Homo-oligomer: A and B are copies of this chain.
Amino acid sequence: MAANFRSDNETPVAPEILEALARANSGTAHSYGDDALTARVQRRFAEVFETEPAVYALVSGTAANALAVAQTTPPYGAVICHEDSHLHTDECGAPEFYSGGAKLLTLAGAGAKIPAQTLKSQLENTGHPGDHASKPMLLSLTQATEFGTVYALDEVRELCDLAHAAGLKVHMDGARFANAVATLGCTPAEITWRAGVDLLSFGATKNGAMMAEALLVFDSADALELGRRRKQSGHLISKMRYVSAQLDAYLEADLWLKLAANANLQASRLSAGIAALDGTELLYPVQSNEIFVRLEDSLAAGLRAAGFEFHGWPGRPGVYRLVTAHCTRADEVDAFIAAAAAVQQR
């Protein structure tokens, strides 16, 4: 048995969500979000987040992030984010394009997390030298991070407080938000608006949807004309009911948390197995569904020869990423570990 640990982007759609798409396919429905499913999704988000966020359904996480930037950050503004954030490294300049020229100010920090002290230093230099420097307008945090770690509640609160005190809004890139919530065991409200997050890119695609994300804005005053920005960027889907059907099923009866819990569980199982192998090194605490590990080349090659798929990490020889997902099974994980042991015994 082989298995694919390349990316949660490569997984199929959860059965509940595929069925919801089929159910939605009946008769006509008003387009561009003026339909019953979209209204229901709005209510579901209100329940899940215990508030009434403005909800913009989307089909792309890059679009969610870039719209959040455009909405908060003018061309002369800047976004503070981690140097390893998806926003900075993997979106081909979408934030810069959507904002019309804003600058990303990147900070270092272990495990792709921004340390409060680092943010503090950055903010203290904010504003100088007058009109000559881009003005920080937004702090973007990733939860769970690019390296699979998770910010604790008090970490998010402290970062938000620092940002707000300096006049910035806070965005959370939640492409793997479900995994973080499942890890933290907190409510979605606690780790977002109650902690100070103003906008959330709520991801569903990696965790079992087909193509469905949402940009949530917790204070509607921050969402002024965001609908026009969505349209102008080509992200207002005409047959919106099919995006909403996915989100509706995803949020129903905590499906999203159940799917994420499985991904996290399998990551724990997989990382424990890997840690027990000779000559491996986990680079970061495994707090969600991603594992970054140093492997001997011969081991990596042997596993690939056995049919297991996973990525080497660009620019870091000997480092590999393994991603589990909503559909990963324990027997796939066990097969990987067994295969690794077999390679090492040769």
Chain B residues near A25 (CB, 8 Å)? 12-13, 18
Alpha-carbon distance between A97 and B78 when the two chains are bound, in angstroms:
12
Chain B residues near A205 (CB, 8 Å)? 238-239
Say whether A75 faces chain B, with CB atoms less than 8 Å apart: yes
Chain B residues near A225 (CB, 8 Å)? 74, 76, 135
Chain B residues near A13 (CB, 8 Å)? 25, 239, 242
Alpha-carbon distance between A246 and B160 when the two chains are bound, in angstroms:
42
Partner of A94, one of B29, B70, B231: B231
Is the pair A234, B66 in contact by a Cβ cutoff of 8 Å? yes
Given A92-B132, A131-B92, A62 and B236 touching (CB < 8 A)? Answer: yes
Chain B residues near A104 (CB, 8 Å)? 103
Is the pair B90, A133 in contact by a Cβ cutoff of 8 Å? yes
Say whether A128 faces chain B, with CB atoms less than 8 Å apart: yes
Chain B residues near A211 (CB, 8 Å)? 59, 211, 237-239, 242-243
Say whether A228 faces chain B, with CB atoms less than 8 Å apart: yes
Tell me, rounded to whole Å, the shortest Cβ–Cβ distance linking A71 to chain B.
10
Alpha-carbon distance between A104 and B133 when the two chains are bound, in angstroms:
14
Chain B residues near A139 (CB, 8 Å)? none
Is the pair B315, A125 in contact by a Cβ cutoff of 8 Å? yes
Alpha-carbon distance between A133 and B96 when the two chains are bound, in angstroms:
12
Q: Please report which residues of chain A, range 68-85, place their CB below 8 angstroms from some CB of chain B when the two chains form the complex.
A: 70, 74-78
Tell me, rounded to whole Å, the shortest Cβ–Cβ distance linking A209 to chain B.
8
Say whether A31 faces chain B, with CB atoms less than 8 Å apart: yes
Chain B residues near A242 (CB, 8 Å)? 13, 210-211
Is the pair A228, B131 in contact by a Cβ cutoff of 8 Å? yes
Tell me, rounded to whole Å, the shortest Cβ–Cβ distance linking A315 to chain B.
5
Is the pair A96, B92 in contact by a Cβ cutoff of 8 Å? no
Alpha-carbon distance between A316 and B236 when the two chains are bound, in angstroms:
26
Alpha-carbon distance between A291 and B11 when the two chains are bound, in angstroms:
43
Say whether A114 faces chain B, with CB atoms less than 8 Å apart: no
Say whether A143 faces chain B, with CB atoms less than 8 Å apart: no
Given A89-B133, A239-B9, A228 and B100 touching (CB < 8 A)? Answer: no
Say whether A235 faces chain B, with CB atoms less than 8 Å apart: yes
Say whether A266 faces chain B, with CB atoms less than 8 Å apart: no
Tell me, rounded to whole Å, the shortest Cβ–Cβ distance linking A176 to chain B.
13
Say whether A233 faces chain B, with CB atoms less than 8 Å apart: yes
Tell me, rounded to whole Å, the shortest Cβ–Cβ distance linking A18 to chain B.
6
Is the pair B103, A100 in contact by a Cβ cutoff of 8 Å? no
Chain B residues near A77 (CB, 8 Å)? 93
Say whether A30 faces chain B, with CB atoms less than 8 Å apart: yes
Say whether A221 faces chain B, with CB atoms less than 8 Å apart: no
Give the 3 A-B CB pairs with smallest separation, nearest first. A97-B101, A63-B234, A100-B100
